């Protein structure tokens, strides 16, 4: 039995439930999906500040024993490198997984995300992961992350931005730029007529496959366990042994 811990780094349990449904929908029968979120940190991640303050809570969830692999279920892939130092199993971010999957579906893909201020981060990740050319455009809906659950017009807006992205970019696929959009994949794909990739599902399947292949992060160099040292103040609980 494989245990994949899917970590929503923000503290909104209803979003964790959406993420859990998307991950469980694609996991194999022998895989246990453990969807969690920290109890400390931002309610949603929409800025560099939010992202920085989400990382300690995220790492606490990564550090807990009992998982064979981890998904970081936030499109900024926050704390991914630190999580890889800490975890013994594979760790995959949803942006990374979605971009890899989309790159196999055609010559180029477009990212559709929430707020315009997060577009730069999506471009940074695309370039860092080697998809600077394959990523044809990053577009935003100007819908706050938590409004995805409460705004009845959100689906229509996201679908419209996806349609415009395809026209503008000439891309072959869409990457949804927020874990909170995970439940919109099928509906939007049917509406716009191209594959729409949800990073939660893509990362869950990727981690599951890596575990089944007996593969994990290389620990000889950069991603070896961090050196032991004191951590003062409120971060004292994060000190390693
Ligand atoms: O960066 C974003 O807009 C999306 C990102 N924020 C969040 O709380 N979960 C996410 O997937």
Q: Can you tell me the mean pLDDT for 12-24?
A: 98
| pLDDT value, residue 74 | 98
Q: Is 157 exposed, middle or buried (0-12, 13-18, 19+ CB in 10 A)?
A: middle
**Sheet of strand 91-93: strand arrangement:** 31-36, 2-7, 69-72, 91-93
Contact partners, residue 192, CB within 8 Å, separation at least 6: 159, 162, 163, 166, 174
- Name the residue with the closest Cα to ligand 1, atom 9: 74
Q: What is the dihedral of CA 78, 82, 87, 92, to 10 degrees?
A: 40
| pLDDT value, residue 89 | 97
pLDDT per position as a tens digit, 59-82: 999 999 999 999 999 999 999 999
Report CA(22)–ligand 1 centroid distance (Å).
15
Supply the DSSP symbol for 234: G
The pTM (predicted TM-score) of the whole model is 0.98
* DSSP-assigned states of every residue in 47-116: SHHHHHHHHHHHHHHHHSS--SEEEE-STT-TTHHHHHHH-SS-EEEHHHHHHHHHHTSSS-EEEEES-G
| pLDDT value, residue 27 | 98
- Name the residue with the closest Cα to ligand 1, atom 10: 74
| pLDDT value, residue 207 | 98
E strand or H helix at 173, and its extent?
Answer: strand 173-176
Whole-number average pLDDT of the chain: 98
Cα separations in angstroms, 13 against 33, 45, 233 = 15, 14, 27
Q: Is the Cβ–Cβ distance between 105 and 141 less than 8 Å?
A: no
pLDDT interval class at 21 (50, 70, 90)? very high
Q: Which residues pair with 113 in a beta bridge?
A: 140
E strand or H helix at 135, and its extent?
Answer: strand 135-140
Pocket test for ligand 1, best of 178, 185, 200, 202 (most atoms within 8 A of CB): 178
CA distance 212 to 14: 30
Pocket test for ligand 1, best of 8, 19, 38, 75 (most atoms within 8 A of CB): 75
- What are the φ/ψ torsions at residue 38 (nearest 5 degrees)? -70, 160
């Amino acid at each position: 039995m494989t245990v994949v811990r899917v970590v929503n780094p923000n503290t909104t349990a209803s979003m964790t439930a959406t993420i859990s449904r998307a991950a469980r929908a694609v996991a194999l029968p022998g895989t246990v999906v453990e969807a969690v979120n920290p109890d400390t940190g931002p309610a949603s991640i929409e800025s560099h500040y939010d992202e920085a303050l989400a990382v300690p809570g995220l790492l606490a969830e990564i550090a807990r024993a009992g998982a064979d692999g981890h998904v970081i279920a936030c499109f900024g892939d926050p704390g991914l490198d630190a999580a890889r130092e800490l975890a013994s199993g594979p760790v995959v971010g949803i942006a990374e997984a979605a971009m890899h999957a989309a790159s196999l579906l055609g010559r180029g893909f477009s990212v559709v995300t929430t707020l315009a201020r997060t577009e730069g981060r999506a471009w940074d990740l695309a370039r860092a992961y080697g998809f600077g050319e394959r990523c044809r455009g990053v577009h935003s809906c100007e819908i706050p992350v938590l409004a995805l659950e409460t705004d009845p017009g959100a689906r229509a807006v996201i679908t419209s931005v996806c349609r415009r992205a395809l026209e503008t970019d000439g891309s072959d696929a869409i990457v949804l730029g927020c874990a909170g959009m995970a439940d919109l994949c099928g509906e939007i794909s049917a509406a716009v007529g191209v594959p729409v990739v949800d990073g939660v599902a893509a990362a869950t399947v990727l981690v599951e496959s890596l575990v089944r292949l007996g593969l994990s992060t290389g620990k000889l160099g950069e991603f070896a366990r961090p050196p032991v040292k004191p951590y003062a103040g409120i971060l004292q609980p994060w000190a390693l042994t």
